[in-house]
Amino acid sequence: QLYNEANIFAFGKVYCFGPTFRAEKSKTRRHLQEFWMVEPEIAFCDLEQLMEVEEQFVSYIIQRCLTDRAAELQVLERDLSQLQNIAPPFPRIHYDVAVDMINKAAAAGELVPGYDDPVPAIEWGDDFGSPHETYVAAQFDKPVFVHHYPTQVKAFYMEPDPDRPEVCRSVDLLAPEGYGEIIGGSERMSDPQKLLESIHRHELPEEAYDWYMDLRKYGSVVHSGFGLGVERTVAWVCGLGHVRETIAFPRMLGIMRP
């Protein structure tokens, strides 16, 4: 993604597609240690415009699958009615609103949809876990955007909100039916001084990112990008029970062969 940002100043709109490696110790039906991502970066694009691109992209994927691959989806016994209304616009909610929804459900003793576990409460400033994403997404019949996450739980390069620097101009797209986050994106920082301060705040080595800061020193523009997880998206489209079913040789905690 960082190298992609260098390319937007020449080409405006770029993307890359390749493998991604996860260092965190997550062991759920949504997580792989190695997975594939599509990562677009767009110059002269703010957060609202980014969400429009994301919803158009996802809607195109779904509608194309319904048009060209309905027979295969029926072989998988996919309930196509769950996909047929996937079209822009997608609902948009602020992180603050999502936290309030979750905590009201937790206080009422509601269960996580599809599970026997109660919805866990969350403190403002924490990132969402799988139960939180599942609950929030279940309140809508389309994928839902949750935007303006706390700056402290997001990557160093995400643009803080000018009116509330404790939140950043970030967005996750949560798929329905318990599939969770399929896209993460944000506006990228354009100011080199703010970027340097963020690098220090995240305790990252400044020398490793000097070239990245140079992209801002000689002129920058508002720009944004996102990453779509291919395996999670395929799992959702196909209605699969585990993301490992979407790739020939899944890599998970404790599984590195064959």
Domain assignment of residue 49, yes or no:
yes
Work out the percent of the chain whose per-residue pLDDT is above 70.
99
Mean pLDDT value across residues 172-200: 95
Domain assignment of residue 63, yes or no:
yes
pLDDT digits (tens, 9 = 90+) for 200-209: 999 999 999 9
Domain assignment of residue 257, yes or no:
no
The total of structural domains in the chain comes to: 1
Sign of the torsion angle spanned by Cα atoms 28, 30, 36, 42 = negative
pLDDT of res. 147: 98
Distances (CA, A) of 87 to 55, 184, 201: 7, 19, 39
CA atoms within 13 A on the CB side of 8: 27
Indicate yes or no: pTM above 0.85.
yes
pLDDT of res. 30: 74
Is residue 183 predicted with pLDDT exceeding 90? yes
Domain harbouring 234, CATH code: 3.30.930.10
Look at 32 and 134; give whichever has higher pLDDT. Answer: 134
Domain assignment of residue 220, yes or no:
yes
DSSP class per residue in 113-168: TTSSSBPPP--TTPPP-HHHHHHHHHTSSS-EEEE--BGGGS-TTBPBPSS-TTBB
Q: Which domain holds residue 189?
A: 2-246
pLDDT of res. 59: 98
Crossing angle of helices 192-201/210-217, nearest 10°? 160
Domain assignment of residue 251, yes or no:
no
Look at 243 and 173; give whichever has higher pLDDT. Answer: 173
Domain assignment of residue 8, yes or no:
yes
pLDDT band at 211 (very low <50, low <70, confident <90, very high): very high
Domain assignment of residue 256, yes or no:
no
Is residue 96 predicted with pLDDT exceeding 80? yes
Domain assignment of residue 238, yes or no:
yes
Is residue 138 predicted with pLDDT exceeding 80? yes
